């Protein structure tokens, strides 16, 4: 079956030359009258699927349905409309399995593309691309009594993430690329959950190493106020190993969906989880290892050198034997960061006070000016790594680190975004 995305009037396009029995037209619903009047002139005319929202998200829903429910085989997905060239190319590559590194990286990098292709595969928040004020209003109507998140489709970590409510007035100057540029999406905020990350690598789509870490605070909490950002070996290894197994199975579904090439494929997958309910809701994915020293934490707790194995595979084609069973940690490993405040850094603790840690690096010097930049990663004073024997040891050392981080004193003044 040949699918044609066509958003314009049919009268000048000679669509009657399409073979009616192996072509389907995807058309905006607002063009329905024009197409019905055009098609009636011909004895036979291709099937038409009408779309209220003429978007990649909706195209994926319909094509998945055609494949699963009608057993259609996709021969091509094309367009003659400039606005839809990229979407048509992505859809054609995906459904014809004509993958390239560029296509796969786009699926992992672009949050809108990622969420569109993962519909129906895993649980995730409802979402919508923002191209006009009505997109935001329609989304809020569809998801009333909720808070929302606006993020850049190419953002990462704390970059370009804002939480809003149903009453929030959007200030367009807050968005560098222009809120209605098609570079931002809105999605439901997920409350009453904790965040975890899955890190490891696959060969092709088959997971070989898989490790889980807890976030002490959600990314949005870090964005909204001055907080610690703590990443630690997950407590679920002791409390809920079944949920870790479920995460691994669900992560495998994601990698299978994107059917990565035979090369080594590092991954960083973030989830909102409710351990009591066993619920996993996807935050985002990346084709890399996580930040916050995660490869170092893995080495310390699991004795697996992810970076070494990755680079040796890339440069020497070396493949390491990996266990079939879930790998378990020997100790708790922790990375600790403290969000920096804007102003002049007037005092900070001596490096010697961090000698008990495995690693410490300070990003600012005394009397240095600290500023935030719009839609950039929020700066931190420092990053430190340390080891803990058990949860009691973790709580003790976390409090010790909190006291040290409180020694970073900023003289606050009115500092504007640069």
So what's the pLDDT on residue 417?
Answer: 44
- What pLDDT digit, counting tens, does each position of 222-272 carry? 555 558 899 999 999 999 999 999 999 999 999 999 887 778 999 999 999
Q: Is CATH 3.30.470.20 the classification given to domain 194-411? A: yes
CA–CA separation, 245 vs 250, rounded Å?
9
Predicted TM-score of the model (pTM): 0.92
So what's the pLDDT on residue 251?
Answer: 97
Which residues are bridge partners to 129 per DSSP?
185
Q: Note the residue count of the chain.
A: 418
What average pLDDT is seen over the chain? 92
* pLDDT confidence band for 414 (50 / 70 / 90): low
Provide the token pair at 287.
């084709």
Could you state, in order of their start, the residue ranges of all structural domains in the chain?
2-98, 127-188, 194-411
Which residues are bridge partners to 357 per DSSP?
none
Query: What are the φ/ψ torsions at residue 395 (nearest 5 degrees)?
Result: -65, -40
Exposure of 91 by Cβ count < 10 A (0-12 exposed, 13-18 middle, 19+ buried)? Answer: buried
How many C-beta neighbours within 10 Å does residue 284 have?
19
Tell me what percent of the residues of the chain surpass a pLDDT of 70.
96
Instruction: Give the pLDDT mean for 123-129.
Output: 97
- What pLDDT digit, counting tens, does each position of 274-326 carry? 999 999 999 999 999 999 999 999 999 999 999 999 999 999 999 899 998 99
């Amino acid at each position: 079956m040949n699918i044609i995305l066509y958003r314009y009037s049919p009268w000048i396009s000679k669509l009657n030359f399409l073979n009616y029995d192996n072509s389907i037209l995807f058309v905006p619903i607002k063009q329905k009258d024009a197409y019905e009047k055009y098609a009636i002139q011909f004895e036979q005319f291709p099937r038409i699927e009408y779309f209220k929202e003429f978007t990649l998200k909706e195209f994926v829903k319909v094509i998945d349905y055609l494949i699963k429910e009608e057993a259609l085989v996709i021969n091509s997905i094309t367009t003659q409309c400039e606005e839809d060239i990229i979407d048509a190319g992505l859809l054609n590559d995906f459904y014809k399995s004509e993958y390239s590194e560029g296509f796969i990286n786009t699926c992992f990098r672009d949050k809108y593309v990622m969420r569109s292709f993962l519909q129906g595969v895993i649980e995730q928040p409802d979402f919508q691309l923002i191209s006009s004020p009505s997109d935001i209003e329609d989304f809020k109507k569809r998801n009333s009594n909720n808070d929302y998140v606006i993020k850049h489709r190419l953002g990462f970590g704390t970059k370009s993430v804002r939480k809003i409510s149903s009453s929030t007035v959007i200030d367009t100057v807050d968005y560098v690329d222009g809120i209605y540029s098609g570079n931002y999406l809105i999605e439901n905020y997920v409350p009453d959950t904790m965040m975890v990350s899955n890190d490891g690598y696959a060969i092709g789509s088959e997971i070989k190493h898989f490790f889980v870490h807890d976030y002490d605070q959600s990314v949005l909490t870090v964005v909204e106020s001055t907080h610690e950002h703590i990443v630690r070996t997950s407590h679920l290894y002791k409390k809920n190993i079944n949920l870790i197994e479920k995460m691994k199975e669900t992560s495998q579904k994601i990698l299978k969906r994107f059917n990565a090439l035979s090369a080594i494929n590092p991954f960083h997958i973030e989830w909102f989880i409710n351990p009591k309910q066993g619920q996993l809701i996807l935050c985002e994915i990346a084709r890399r290892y996580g930040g916050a020293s995660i490869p170092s934490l893995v080495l310390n707790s699991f004795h697996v050198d992810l970076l070494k194995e990755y680079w040796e595979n890339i440069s020497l084609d070396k493949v390491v034997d990996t266990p079939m069973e879930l790998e378990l940690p020997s100790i708790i490993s922790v990375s600790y960061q403290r969000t920096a405040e804007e102003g002049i850094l007037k005092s900070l603790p001596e490096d010697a006070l961090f000698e008990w840690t495995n690693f410490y690096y300070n990003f600012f010097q005394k009397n240095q000016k600290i500023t935030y930049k719009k839609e950039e990663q929020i700066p931190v004073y420092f990053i430190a790594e340390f080891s803990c024997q058990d949860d009691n040891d973790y709580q003790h050392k976390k409090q010790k680190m909190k006291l040290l981080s409180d020694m970073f004193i900023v003289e606050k003044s009115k500092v504007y975004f640069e």
